[in-house]
Amino acid sequence: MKRMNLAKYLARLGAALFVATAVLPPLALAAEDGSGPATSIGVPQINAERAAGPSAGSTGSSGGVVSVSHPLAAAAGARILEAGGNAIDAAAAIQFALNVVEPQFSGIGGGGFMMVHLAAENRTFIVDSREKAPAGASADMFVGQTFLAASTSGHSIGVPGTLKGIDYALRQWGTMTLAATLAPAIRLAEEGFRINRFLAADTYNLRTTLQPETRAIFRLPDGSPLPAGHLLVQPALAQTFRLIARDGIDPFYRGDIARAILDVQLRSQIGPAGAGRMTASDLATYDVAVRQPVEGNYRGYTIKSMPPPSSGGLSVIMILKLLEPFPIGSGGEGWRFGGRHALHAMIEAMRLTFADRAVWMGDPDFVPVPAKGLLSECFLATRRAFIDAGSRMATPLPGDPRACDSPIRRPHSRLPQVPVEEEKGMHTTHFSVVDPAGNFVSYTSTTENTWGSGILVPGYGFLLNNQLTDFNFTPQSSASTGNPGANDAGPFKRPRSSMAPTILFKDGKPLAAYGSSGGPTIINTVLNITLNLVDHRLDIQQAIDAPRLSVTSAAGAVRCEGGLPPDSLRQLAELGHDLPDVAGVSFCNESIGSVQAVVVDLQNSRRYGGADQRSEGTVITLPRQGR
């Protein structure tokens, strides 16, 4: 990553885009044109004596730190901190800026989860602004449809929650107005910015061509994709943000913007069956939820992460607890980073967890989610018994944790294997913030697929999500098997997510905040980072750079990044694991997730950041208290 003075960097981009002008310290930046592929460091050098988290050789900061997937959004958050805002204020500015510079991944037409730790109260909670299904949603609304047709039609659009979530968080815990946090995004949209290679590549996506408003912004006049370096100006989005800055969120949920959303969601690629079902009442009555994190302990650390309706936190902690008895990070070469035994155990634990996830996890406001049972040793011991170091298990059936979810123990049972559609949403965005007072935000947000539904609200410049395709396409509720249909669609229900904004604690104190993009691979990316920090004793940047491995189904197809030891891959293939294969040789070349993290050295309270070069990850640190 490049390092340069922020003031010089902003001068080259147009410093007028930002609300403050004071010089910040040097920051790590990817090449401005996005050149150079993301690379793996291979098997990292492990230091068993190093405390998990802080980067070796870095001096850290006594001020705030932001870690974001795009440098312009990072700069927006840093300026808010520099102007005296707290982590919640900075998070709002970052998210609005991301709507401008990463429109394909998140924005006010989508939803997300903002995890907050308030230092003064020693309290951690989540603002859940996940989209909701409209009152007219039904369990069979996607039956027989292809993912592409369904996800690019209006009936895939959930009631957007991002704007209401940010507004709620600012009112409850922020120190700045909604208008102040919108200011950097307004200027970015109005004056434009030079797009990086990641956004340029994503304009090749079919979803940029299906609707005239989307095509007009994210394609050239001749219909070709945008090149890297193209100046992207979004005047309609700037005007939308100005309207919200002036009048608050009411125009979006009750006024002119709401009416435009309702009109455009009627578009369909598949005829009347694909038209949106959202009404004015659905928008006007949308509400956020404040939830308590799901919590687990792993080797003396406490993990707090996103509870249902996301499956992310529960799944990460389930996998960790399944792995805890195994000597990962010690016990010989096979258990070290990239060792054959460690990778095998990870794969098997992922397969078991995804089998259980498919049945039991959904919106807890509508279905009972047996979280206590899923995380109990009573249940996990029965699942762990399937992991054999010398062989690959057959495709596991889901287990039944209900016997362990209440004080009255009943015999264990397993449900029949159920058909589960492949999850397609592969893009979100994640960023992390710590402010000078020690408040943390770990925030994952999305419009679901790249470019969401591909439907842009005419005259207002923002894209709408396709979040409802996260529901089961085929209803799973079955009295005969006891399958609760936890993720079947229904009125006002939030679809199951994989997002996992996470904070890692040691001795009751926050150590690291992190999360990832990547659809269902988010779960395993967050797992990889946690193992790298806790078991392999990597610093935060090493933990992010290290090659990743992911399995997102009970069947066990393995996705993996370059840099894992070839000998380990060969032995996994010999066990029968389903690895990518080129000319008969196991081969890994995926890019999995994008992690942005902030950490604290608990010995001296200095703050650090780590950012992912699988995207244009950027860390900015402030050396002093905000004004």
CA dihedral 211, 216, 221, 227 (to 10 degrees): -100
CA distance 164 to 250: 10
Find out whether 336 and 536 touch, Cβ atoms under 8 Å.
Answer: yes
Calculate ∠ Cα 304-308-310, nearest 5°. Answer: 85
* C-alpha closest to that of 515 among 444, 565, 620: 444
Spot the catalytic one: 181, 428, 446, 621.
428
Task: Please state at what angle helix 340-360 crosses helix 312-323, rounded to 10 degrees.
Answer: 140
The Cα–Cα gap between 503 and 188 comes to: 30
For every residue of 342-356, DSSP letters joined together read HHHHHHHHHHHHHHH
Q: Where are the alpha helices (DSSP H) in 268-311?
A: 280-284
Q: What radius of gyration do the chain's Cα atoms show?
A: 23
Handedness of CA 552, 130, 80, 304 (dihedral sign): negative
Report the run of H or E that residue 45 belongs to, with start and end: none
Other CB atoms within 10 A of residue 448 CB: 31
For the question of residue 428 being annotated catalytic, the response is yes
475-496 exposure pattern, b = at least 16 Cβ within 10 A, e = fewer? bbbeeeeebbbbbbbbebbbbb
* CA atoms 81, 83, 85, 91: torsion sign: negative
User: What phi, psi does 10 have (nearest 5°)?
Assistant: -65, -35
* Residue 481 φ then ψ, to 5°: -100, -15
Q: Distances from the Cα of 334 to the Cαs of 43, 337, 374, 565, in angstroms?
A: 13, 8, 29, 11
Q: What are the C-alpha distances in Å from 319 to residues 256, 293, 413, 470, 523?
A: 46, 17, 20, 22, 9
Alpha-carbon distance of 77 to 92, in angstroms, equals 8
8 A C-beta contact, residue 95 and residue 181: no
**Tokens 């989610």 map to which residue?**
369
Alpha-carbon distance 316 to 318, whole Å? 6
Look-up of token digits 């050789």: 57
Strand residue runs (E) in 419-567: 429-434, 440-446, 502-506, 509-516, 549-551, 558-560
Q: What are the catalytic residues?
A: 428
